Amino acid sequence: MGGGTAGWMAANLFANKWADKNVHVTLVESPEIGIVGVGEGSTPTLKRFFEMLNISESQWMPQCNATYKVNIRFAGWSPKSGIEDYSHPFICQTDTFTQKSFFVNCRTRRLGLDTNVNPEEFLLNGVLAKQVKGPLAPEHFPMIMEYGYHFDSYLLGQFLAQHAETLDVEHIQAKVSSVKQHANGDIAALITENGDEIDADFFVDCSGFASVLMQKTLNVKFNSFKQNLFNDSAVVMPTPMQDVIPVETRATALSNGWAWKIPLTNRFGNGYVYSSDFINQDQAETELRRHIGTENDPESCRHLKMRVGQLEKHWANNCLGLGLSQGFIEPLEATALHLVQVCIEMFMGDFEKGQFSHRHQAEFNQKIAERFERVRDYIVAHYKVNTRDDSDYWRANRDNTHLSESLIQILNVWYKREDLGAEIDRQKLNTHFDTISWHCLLAGYGAFPPIANNQPGTGDHFIENGIEEFNRRCSLNFSSHQHNLDSLK
């Protein structure tokens, strides 16, 4: 149920995987209700989604005004000079040669010695982002590149709907007005406004924040993350594309939240994510307009509310919650569709392993809850370590003591100058945000003690291991982002 990105991703993957198992997939959606229509940035996981469906980039990207994404640039998150912005690049294979030097330098810097700890200079995608080069490597380049995408979510929905048709997914456009249940609580059928009954053995709730099946029908409890993450609203407005299309998302900290700037081939998507406890809708809109230079633009902005948290169970009875209906961890780092895809993949594995029974339901629920929590922690860290002093919002985030044990441990290890990689391994966090992402965040933010007076003048692995030259030479293999985009046509 639901034809947003979550619904169409699930319908395609189920129909594709279980084509030979006599599984029939029906997707029902209400055009009247529509989709949330934001969510235009991905992680590299989305590449795997298209690969699983055998869809090439030249098939889908031009149709969805999509661009490549190799990096997220965080601007204005720290007022300290010299770190006005920092990068969180997607990690690729060349980084295995440089990441150790980055870790060593971060540890040396934590001890007070002056070393280069700028993530984008160590990691190839950071270098490409700065040069506005695309991530498509020529065949003779021996390393595997990782990257994500930016895309128009309405167009992606349309594209996936068309593709689902080729996989025999039945598409019904109707509003579901009630739900029929069996005596044991399982869902029996969805009843549409015009009285049609859509019955099935298994249901997938992709109804967005409404969570019609999981919350409203099966009464699955929703655990809010509001204490950890204050942002609950967003205001959105597009702006025209500039001459050169960036190959990165820009996330700029503003007075009471942050603004995204996502480049598509035809426009920028912009939005300000903020906490309504600190500013109201009008103030947020005024600030966004000032930030993107649209103060005099008669076009109106879209305002959205966000429900941040997760369901207590992601699979209950004969229903799987997916997408915004199962939970949401605000869009910093663009993890929502990544979580959707991971959930679909894990569900398909566990459902099939249990011969399409509930045998692995508890295990699945535990794995997904853990995913949500660890992704949440990484996002919370962006707020917790901030040193901005320009609003109550930033001070309240810094003073927030609602942190998970896992996050407290990570920050302790960092500030005590211990081995962060060993701690990430100990907590088995590598499948969430791994050691390098934590280093990008904490080093990028400048979470270091002051530089000591007596510097040895040696021990900077960036210089001693020739990292700048290595990445410069690697980058010579890549062409401009525009060239990559043109090659798709």
> Which residues lie near ligand FAD (CB under 6 A)?
1-7, 28-30, 33-36, 38-42, 153, 175-176, 206-208, 210, 212, 234, 271, 304, 306, 323-325, 331, 334, 336-337
CB of 148 vs ligand FAD, minimal distance in Å = 9
H-assigned helices in 64-152: 99-110, 119-122, 124-131
φ, ψ (nearest 5 deg) of residue 183: -60, -30
249 close to 41: Cβ distance less than 8 angstroms:
yes
Nearer to ligand FAD, 208 or 309 (CB): 208
Q: What's the CA gap between 134 and 411, in Å, rounded?
A: 34
CB of 320 vs ligand FAD, minimal distance in Å = 12
Q: List the structure tokens of 482.
A: 């525009």
Structure-derived torsion over alpha carbons of residues 200, 205, 211, 214, reported in degrees to the nearest 10 = 70
CB atoms within 10 A of CB 265: 18
Nearer to ligand FAD, 330 or 460 (CB): 330
Burial 223-236 (b: 16+ CB within 10 A, else e): eebeebbbbbbbbb
CB of 1 vs ligand FAD, minimal distance in Å = 6
Annotation marks residue 261 as catalytic: no
CB of 401 vs ligand FAD, minimal distance in Å = 27
Could you say which DSSP state residue 298 is in?
Answer: -
Could you say which DSSP state residue 208 is in?
Answer: G
Helix (H, G, I), strand (E, B) or coil at 24: coil
φ, ψ (nearest 5 deg) of residue 434: -90, -175
Nearer to ligand FAD, 134 or 269 (CB): 269
272 close to 280: Cβ distance less than 8 angstroms:
no
Nearer to ligand FAD, 163 or 461 (CB): 163
Nearer to ligand FAD, 69 or 107 (CB): 69
Of 17, 69, 133, 313, the catalytic one is: 69
Nearer to ligand FAD, 210 or 410 (CB): 210
CA 283 to chain centre: 26
What lies within 8 Å, CB to CB, of 271 at 6+ separation is: 38, 234, 235, 236, 237, 259, 260, 288, 331
Q: Which residues are catalytic?
A: 69
